[in-house]
A and B are shown apart, each in its own frame.
Chain A
């Protein structure tokens, strides 16, 4: 797969725009999901995920072929999401507290296995609660926790994506885990 993506990127660099739609198609779920988890709502997630793909396309010439494209793409998406969180107006947080409504957008998209209706509801409640607790973390801890446990990157990969030293990743993941332990202890 990695090889195929590399080929596509070569084509895009030569000016073949159509080849880029294959790249977007391949990464769209991962990047959208990452933005969703960073931002906590569907609207902003779609905006930022689209913006990430557009930025990657515009700056494709500055992408170093020897590196992993996904790492680069995740970095763009993470930075855009963190920027967006910082730029939010204070009143936005009041909206964000009411998770019940726009949360439906997201949970309706979650793939579900067969469970009894009661279990289903409890399960949804729990997942919503966990998501909410993650989104309460400061962005720099949030991005690392999401990359490590929800998207299962190694610590080294996270260090590459965020372009911060491995030691800093470890310190932040310790603090992030402690913060979440306190929040999720009573679940």
Chain B
């Protein structure tokens, strides 16, 4: 039985063209004296010729047209997919840009509470920030979602987002008009989405270039 299995192994290697010359001789001598192996070998060869006799099949008519039609239908989808694949840098930049914009949008829309930059001597009344008379505020002043009254002095730029600068308190009368505070820098008032974005972009670029 063991020789029989070994011979079958040789038969398969013969069929794959992997047999060395001496192995070929061993197989042939064995086949001459073993009828069962002869049958096995014959059956294997016959199986192969039966397999090879199976004829060719052709694709249905319009096969190519159908494939091309399917490609056409999903063409746009493929186009985008392939475009993104071939331009990874632009895709990454676009995604980054979208995140940045939506981030700025959320910042603009999301916060409705009053935000004031950290400085001493500021008085907060409701949604109004007051720089009291005779007080000098050092550095840039930022007020978000609130109004600003300057009676004193600001030593720097002033930015007001979603609010306005009130330089005239009607209840106090004419007398105080003269003493309206001083801004020793630029005054920016940002109220609209576009301006807010512009302001964001400007400060981003300033930030980048200051490096």
Contacts and interface: CB of A to CB of B under 8 A. Distances in A.
A184 B15 CA distance: 18
B70 interface: yes
B63 A49 contact: yes
A28 B63 contact: yes
Interface string A122-135: 00001100110010
Please report whether the interface of chain B is mostly helix, strand, loop or mixed according to DSSP: helix
Nearest to B40: A181
B206 interface: no
A70 interface: no
A150 B52 contact: yes
Interface residues of A, number: 45
A110 B57 contact: yes
B73 to A, nearest CB: 10
Interface in A14-65: 15, 17, 20-21, 24-25, 28-29, 31-33, 36-37, 42, 46, 49-50, 53-54, 57-58, 61
Interface in A112-128: 126-127
Contact of A54 (B44, B56, B70, B81): B70
B46 interface: yes
Contacts, number: 112
A92 interface: no
A134 B51 contact: yes
A53 B69 CA distance: 12
A41 B86 CA distance: 38
A21 B57 contact: no
A149 B43 contact: no
A55 B184 CA distance: 67
A155 interface: yes
A3 interface: no
B51 A29 contact: no
Q: Give the size category of B's interface with A.
A: 35 or more
Contacts of A31: 59
A131 B57 CA distance: 12
A28 B63 CA distance: 7
B78 interface: yes
Closest 7 CB pairs of A and B: A32-B59, A149-B51, A28-B59, A174-B12, A33-B57, A24-B64, A53-B67
22 contacts: A20-B68, A24-B63, A24-B64, A28-B59, A29-B57, A33-B59, A36-B57, A46-B59, A50-B66, A57-B78, A58-B78, A61-B82, A109-B57, A111-B55, A127-B55, A145-B51, A149-B48, A150-B52, A173-B16, A178-B8, A181-B43, A184-B47
